[in-house]
Amino acid sequence: MKKTLFATFFFPPEFGGIQTYLHGLISNLPPEKVVVLAKSGEETEEYDKKQPYPIYRTSFNSVLKFIKLSNLSFQKTLSRIIKKEHIEHVVLGHPLPLGISCQIIKKRFKIPYSTFTHGKEITEALKDNTLHSRTLRGTLYNADHVFCTTHFMAKLLIDKCNVPLKAIKIIPPGVSPETFTEKISKEALKAKYGLTGKKVLITISRLVKRKGHDLVLNALKIIVKSHPEVHYLIVGSGEEEKELKSLVIKVHLENHVTFIPHASNTDIKDLYTLSDIFVMPTRTISGDIEGFGIVYLEAAAAGLPVVATNTGGVAEAVVQNTTGILLDDPESIGENTFIGELTKTLELLLASKDKRDLLGMRAKKRVLAEFTWKKQSKKLEDVL
């Protein structure tokens, strides 16, 4: 593996799917071959000290205005790190807006660059033939390698962005098996969190409309009539928080829903362990798709059955009727029909511990066999 600089807006300690994905891959590479350039933020200094590889931080202010990308100070920052750390390859955590600078750096230093893609940035940029769209295509076309998480994304890159097949490398997310080794029982954790006797549904994600929390709440208002013991944990924060809290009051679910806006890694592990069903019925909104959904793998590693929608690359994370249940996209069948299907599916699982246990057992077996970070990181190391 060549000494590689990973440049990204999205990196821990900031929370999110891309952050988790990049950290999981990078942290399992040989640390002496890794350098990271990431966005500065709160608590980054303490986090960075604990990592086995150097992390540089910048505000990225010079690249926030897209039109100025070609001649601003980010290139100087990139050049300085390349020289100081003897970088042989640059990998972008996302193609834009850093791609323009990397194309220039490639010509100047004769250093190759590659980029990860995640879904939304591709579909957003392809809506029209703007400068944004053309720059995306140029960044992808000139990259040595374009990494994506699913075959769904690979097809999109080939069909819509003209990325050469030989450049595309599929590297799904992973999990750390040791994270989900149970050290305390489900019932003990339920007692700790005041959920004794409850059947717990959980969603862990940003609170944005695409993730489908509102769909779960509308199904839940029906479900509680036959399953008064059900409780829904909404873990995460985001722009929809106020709207979702208002919906909880509107449908009289105050005693059945708990919002947890901030949770540590230990808390999240505990919350997965105490839960009975993971549910995240994503919808496609204005081309914004679920590229894979790393939380589906985390839920599987915790032995949870998953209820999701067959959108984007989700079907590569959740195997229909084997590790979970996939429903049709609510945007294609209509929300009222979807809520009815979601209600029936959740009621079926809530009523059958055997069904939950079977799906959860299969899910855990699959994810530990195929989706560990060590396995996925080795794919990246072999390419670099």
- Where residue 238 sits, what CATH number does that domain have? 3.40.50.2000
CB proximity list for 146: less than 8 A, separation 6 or greater: 114, 115, 117, 140, 157, 163, 167, 168, 169
Residue span of the structural domain in which 273 resides: 177-370
Instruction: Examine the domain organization and report whether 159 and 185 are in the same domain.
Output: no
What's the rounded Cα separation, in Å, for the pair 326 and 313?
Answer: 12
CB proximity list for 241: less than 8 A, separation 6 or greater: 207, 259, 261
Instruction: Examine the domain organization and report whether 98 and 211 are in the same domain.
Output: no
pLDDT of res. 244: 98
Query: Has residue 156 been placed in a domain?
Result: yes
Query: Has residue 382 been placed in a domain?
Result: no
Measured in residues, the chain has a length of: 384
Do residues 35 and 56 lie in contact, with contact meaning Cβ atoms separated by under 8 Å? yes
What's the rounded Cα separation, in Å, for the pair 3 and 301?
Answer: 32
- Greater pLDDT, 123 or 53: 53
Instruction: Examine the domain organization and report whether 142 and 287 are in the same domain.
Output: no
Neighbours of 31 (CB within 10 A): 13
What's the rounded Cα separation, in Å, for the pair 61 and 56?
Answer: 15
What's the rounded Cα separation, in Å, for the pair 139 and 102?
Answer: 8
Name the band, by pLDDT with cuts 50, 70 and 90, for residue 69. Answer: very low
pLDDT above 60 for 308: yes
Instruction: Examine the domain organization and report whether 127 and 215 are in the same domain.
Output: no
**What are the CA-CA distances from residue 91 to residues 37, 253, 281 (Å)?**
10, 46, 32
Which of 135, 155, 171 is the C-terminal boundary of a domain? 171
pLDDT above 70 for 127: no
pLDDT above 70 for 190: yes
Instruction: Examine the domain organization and report whether 130 and 66 are in the same domain.
Output: yes
Tally helices (H) and strands (E) across the chain.
Answer: 16, 13
* Sole residue written with tokens 């042989």: 88
For residues 356-366, give the mean pLDDT. 97
Instruction: Examine the domain organization and report whether 187 and 326 are in the same domain.
Output: yes
pLDDT above 60 for 64: no
Query: Has residue 274 been placed in a domain?
Result: yes
Per-residue pLDDT tens for 25-57?
999 999 999 999 999 888 899 999 999 999 999
Instruction: Examine the domain organization and report whether 22 and 147 are in the same domain.
Output: yes
Instruction: Examine the domain organization and report whether 166 and 185 are in the same domain.
Output: no
Instruction: Examine the domain organization and report whether 348 and 261 are in the same domain.
Output: yes
Do residues 384 and 1 lie in contact, with contact meaning Cβ atoms separated by under 8 Å? yes
pLDDT of res. 99: 85
Instruction: Examine the domain organization and report whether 138 and 109 are in the same domain.
Output: yes
Query: Has residue 136 been placed in a domain?
Result: yes
Instruction: Examine the domain organization and report whether 22 and 84 are in the same domain.
Output: yes
Name the domain count of the chain. 2
Query: Has residue 20 been placed in a domain?
Result: yes
What's the rounded Cα separation, in Å, for the pair 275 and 53?
Answer: 35
Query: Has residue 198 been placed in a domain?
Result: yes
pLDDT of res. 70: 47
Instruction: Examine the domain organization and report whether 158 and 225 are in the same domain.
Output: no
Lowest mean pLDDT among 35-49, 122-136, 232-246: 122-136
